């Protein structure tokens, strides 16, 4: 009798791994556990991925590309609407409005503390986001520096406090 297990694609594995990352951290992302949760065989996993590291790399790529696209879309604004647009971005990503997204974000950033590939993905998103914020809020006159997170904090402070022409 043929196996009645459902067919799946690569994205299903990546989504499941991302959810597990949010719930249990990177150590919880295990092939056997994911397969059991999806009702699939480990053979299905190995059809799509060489090994666990390849899955983790796909999770990083999916997160990185999604974050960059999302930030790009949310920071595009008409001239004169920059402050309102940044307030919208901050509200959208606040813990109260996007709890699951914040869990994924925090788990990924925790992973980046001890994994070079995860750190590179986080750094790339941060650099791209900083550049987009600088273009979105020309009145804040931010100087772009690769590792200066205080400037990002200054933008958030300016936006949340309603200051229109602060200089960081």
CA 143 to centroid of chain Cα atoms:
24
Question: CATH no. for residue 74?
Answer: 1.10.357.10
Query: For the whole model, what pTM was predicted?
Result: 0.71
Confidence (pLDDT) at 68 = 86
Q: Is residue 3 part of a domain?
A: no
Give tens-digit pLDDT for 38-72.
999 999 999 999 999 999 999 999 999 998 888 77
Q: Is residue 1 part of a domain?
A: no
Q: How many domains does the chain have?
A: 1
Q: Is residue 85 part of a domain?
A: yes
Q: Is residue 148 part of a domain?
A: yes
CA–CA separation, 133 and 32 (whole Å) = 41
Query: Are the CB atoms for 39 and 120 separated by under 8 Å?
Result: no
Q: Is residue 167 part of a domain?
A: no
> Region 116-128: what's the mean pLDDT?
92
Query: Are the CB atoms for 12 and 38 separated by under 8 Å?
Result: yes
Q: Is residue 168 part of a domain?
A: no
Q: Which residue range forms the structural domain that includes residue 149? A: 10-161
Confidence (pLDDT) at 54 = 98
pLDDT band at 160 (very low <50, low <70, confident <90, very high): very low
Q: Is residue 5 part of a domain?
A: no
Q: Is residue 126 part of a domain?
A: yes
Residue 83: C-alpha distances to residues 63, 70, 89, 98, 133 (Å): 26, 17, 10, 21, 10
Between 165 and 35, name the one with better pLDDT: 35
Weakest mean pLDDT among 3-12, 22-31, 85-94, 111-120:
85-94
């Amino acid at each position: 009798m043929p196996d009645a297990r459902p067919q799946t694609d690569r994205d299903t594995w990546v989504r499941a791994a991302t959810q597990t990352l949010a719930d249990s951290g990177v150590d919880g992302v295990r092939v056997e556990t994911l397969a059991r949760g999806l009702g699939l065989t480990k053979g299905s996993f190995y059809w799509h991925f060489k090994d666990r590291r390849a899955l983790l790399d796909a999770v990083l790529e999916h997160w990185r590309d999604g974050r960059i696209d999302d930030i790009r879309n949310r920071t595009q604004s008409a001239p004169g609407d920059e402050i309102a647009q940044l307030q919208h971005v901050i509200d959208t990503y606040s813990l109260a409005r996007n709890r699951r997204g914040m869990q994924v974000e925090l788990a990924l950033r925790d992973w980046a503390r001890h994994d070079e590939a995860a750190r590179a993905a986080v750094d790339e998103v941060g650099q791209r986001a900083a550049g987009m914020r600088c273009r979105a809020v020309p009145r804040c006159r931010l100087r772009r520096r690769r590792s200066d997170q205080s400037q990002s904090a200054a933008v958030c402070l300016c936006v949340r406090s309603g200051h229109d022409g602060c200089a960081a």
